[in-house]
Amino acid sequence: MQTQRSLLALTLGAVLVAGTLSAAQAVSAEPAEIPQLSERDTRVTATAVTDSTARTICHPGAKWLRLRFTKLSLHDTDSLHLAGSAGGSFTLTAKHWPGKAFHTRAFAGDCVHLHPRLTDPRSGYAVDRYQSGKEDLAQTTVTVAAVADICGSSCNQTAALISAMNPNALVMPGDLAYESGTLSEFNNNYHPHYGPFKNISYPAPGNHEYATSGASGYFDYFNGVGNNTGRAGERGKGYYSFDVGDWHFVALNSNIARGAGSVQEQWLRSDLTANTKPCTAAFWHHPLFSRGSHGDDTSVRPLYQALYDHQADLVLVGHDHNYQRFAMSRPDGVKDTVNGVRELLIGTGGRSHYNFDSTSAATFEAGNTDTYGVGKLTLTASTYRADFVPVAGGSYTDTVTGTCKRAATQPDFGVTVSPGALSIAQGNSGTGTVSVTSTGGFAGAVSLSASGLPSGVTASFAPASVSAPGTSTLTLSANATAATGTSTVTITGTSGAVTRTATLQLTVQSTGGGDVFADDFETDKGWTVNAGGTDTATAGLFERGDPEATDSSGVKQLGTTTSGVNSLVTGRLAGSSAGVHDVDGGVTSIRSPAITLPAGGTSLSFQYNVAHGSNSGSNDYFRVQVVDGTAVTTVFEKLGAASDVDGSWKPSTVDLSAFAGRTIRLQVVAADVGTASLFEAQVDDVRVTPSTSTVVFSDDFETDKGWTVNASGTDTATTGLFERGDPEETVSASQIKQLGTTTSGSSCLVTGRLAGSSAGVHDVDGGFTSIRSAAIQLPSAATTLTFRYSVAHGSNSSTSDYLRVRIVDGTTVTTLFERLGAATEVAGAWQSASVSLSAYSGRSVRILVEAGDIATASLFEAQLDDLRIA
């Protein structure tokens, strides 16, 4: 995880070396990297997935995702299948960027399903971040400018065109500073005009650069004087690669050994074999095909052959001072509209023009010998458009389009299952979603089946056959005597003779006093970092590991756990000081696998540590939440404060009875919000255990169970009276006040369910409103009242406003729970509450719910759902 956090600090457009980032070389513990250039309107989100099992990475609302792998360790025939939730798939194998960090191609949809097919225990993978976009993948473009033969005594011919294009990258196939490519010529002639583009420039050397021994001026300018590596690649080599969008670009050096079997040619073949992008372009100086004064240069044919063998799409060259476009061609020049590579010669950067004096082996399609200009490449995930853009006053233009050869795939489908891990108790069932993705136009029917089920567990699919792309609900049911333990269930999709599989880790828990779910974090049970795709923390991301102690006026992060050696922790490493790996920059979260709760009550218990410095505040927090479908409920919270708090393990227990019979996930969240501060959090020994208590009373408010509004006849509110119904959402001050959701079903108790024309129309006004239950006979044994609630108000509220839950015992009315208003904007959110009713054992009582807008009129909303006594 130290590697993952350090990598987050790297700039996406960092300085290039031969196929790697120089910043990555400076830290030996980090893998070399194939750079993915930054893109406008693209979001970069941190995550932390290290695994050898199936996982899903999502960013709600995204139209596509592109994952960054920091580890891909695949041995022998092991593979990792990636599939986008809205289409597109790719299978990674041991050949893909071994030992290097890299970005995948983009996958359509807001989720990418990762399905490993592993037999070697050494195999695994790690993803530390991803890019996402809000525009359809087919419409998402990057712009690359290309030009060669640029700068002699007059260097301002084409610079203005680059500024106008505002490209993501500028590739330059050589002869950039005439006559000899000295450092002085670069600094004095080239730099005043092309220097502003240096941070997006990706050069290849030309013969004029090599007029200075070893092209030393070229390497000194782009890499820094005396530096061996940098933007121009390794000194003496000058070849490297990088990615922009879904395109892989390779810079080559046609001034050094380039024949078949040469070091450069072998490096090129290795680079192309490892490439995962659907589209490929290469650039160097000397053209294989040219009708200009220099003519065809067959010495570069081995480079062209390697590109042809790996289905590359474009080659960009210079040397002849004109513009030429050739048909898609084989290396021998024969036109090949299926597998051929298209060469574009763009030697129009500013040097005096050359005529068409030669013949070429390839098919010449278009060209010009008297116009300066720049090539503009508009690139998508599957296509290109290449335009010749003339300088001001020029009239010649040219356009050609094409489709990337590796983007076109044979019809195929993939199968994934979410979640990748599921826990159910004996006598219960749990559900997951099986997704069948389509690539290459596959639209057939796929039948689904499950194998590897433990004794006493059955699987069903609804529907059992899916037309791709599509989904099916998987239900796993365990009978009362089902075999307990953890098993790997294989989901198989079959279409004709083709089968695709996905796996799910199933844990069956005993209900004979055993746990519904338990995790001591000694092994990976399928927790997912940043599952919602909205985390913002830049350091201290939650991880499972052996924590190292930190000290700042006392121990903050504990170096101990409550069992074993691992816990959940916000950055397990100590670093050089306590603040290096604590939570910084926002929110970090980690979410459990799905847990199916039994119909009876359950209890969540865990050990936790929250520690902070005196620079903390109440904006910082640690929360344990229950994710129930789309509803997220905070069931435990500890806030920061402007005081120094040392770390210590503490126990906590939360009643989960309100979620009985539902499939939920636990989510642990920590945040350093506002001013940066020292804030550490840890969790260990999480257990969900069945309750032995009997349900005395429960109401999800889906039917009328005898509640009475204003039972005492003393209510004073004029609007917003309590009612049972389907609430409508209201918004004020850019915040949701009355929630349009419930915690189960469609109804809840609410202070005026309608939204009205504005948030304040149907809220509580003019006094207080109440609603009282029917009589409830409590047993002689102790009982607990649990419920879900939401309180929201505007900044015109005050502590005179309230939500109260009270108990009526004869003529005595006692407040059990209270939430007061305040002069701040507070948004609505479902939360959990639990109150002991032991003092009322054996008595007949009623539950009374009250909400009041007292004194000055204000915006105040209250809701209550899933009330239960057990």
Q: What's the pLDDT at 61?
A: 76
Handedness of CA 612, 618, 624, 629 (dihedral sign): negative
CATH number assigned to the domain comprising residue 720: 2.60.120.200
Instruction: Record the tokens describing residue 481, joined without a space.
Output: 């005597």
Task: Name the domain count of the chain.
Answer: 5
Q: What's the pLDDT at 2?
A: 29
Q: Is 233 exposed, middle or buried (0-12, 13-18, 19+ CB in 10 A)?
A: buried
**719 & 833 share domain:** yes
Q: 152-191 pLDDT, tens per residue?
A: 767 888 999 999 999 999 999 999 999 999 999 999 999 9
The answer to whether 504 and 470 have CB atoms below 8 angstroms apart is no
**68 & 189 share domain:** no
> What pTM did the predictor assign?
0.57
Instruction: Record the tokens describing residue 752, joined without a space.
Output: 């005026």
Q: 784-833 pLDDT, tens per residue?
A: 888 889 999 999 999 999 999 999 999 999 999 999 999 989 888 888 88
**188 & 297 share domain:** yes
**259 & 238 share domain:** yes
Q: What's the pLDDT at 142?
A: 97
**283 & 385 share domain:** yes
**474 & 426 share domain:** yes
* Domain that includes residue 636, residue range: 517-690
Q: Which one of 363, 389, 407 terminates a domain?
A: 407
**667 & 563 share domain:** yes
CATH number assigned to the domain comprising residue 111: 2.60.120
* Ranges of residues in the chain whose predicted pLDDT is under 70: 1-31, 153, 408-410, 511-514, 692-693
**457 & 390 share domain:** no
Instruction: Record the tokens describing residue 553, joined without a space.
Output: 């006026």
Q: Which one of 690, 716, 748 terminates a domain?
A: 690
Q: How many Å apart are CA 185 and CA 630, to the nearest integer? A: 62
Which residues partner with 107 through β-bridges? 65
Quote the DSSP letter at residue 839: G
CATH number assigned to the domain comprising residue 456: 2.60.40.10
Q: Are strands 111-117 and 342-346 parallel, antiparallel or unpaired?
A: unpaired
**485 & 548 share domain:** no
Residue with tokens 């501060």: 677
Instruction: Record the tokens describing residue 486, joined without a space.
Output: 């953890």
Q: Which one of 465, 488, 509 terminates a domain?
A: 509
**7 & 49 share domain:** yes
**402 & 416 share domain:** no
Instruction: Record the tokens describing residue 485, joined without a space.
Output: 């333990």
Handedness of CA 170, 173, 179, 183 (dihedral sign): positive
**194 & 300 share domain:** yes
How wide is the angle at C-alpha 621 spanned by C-alphas 619 and 625, nearest 5°?
Answer: 130
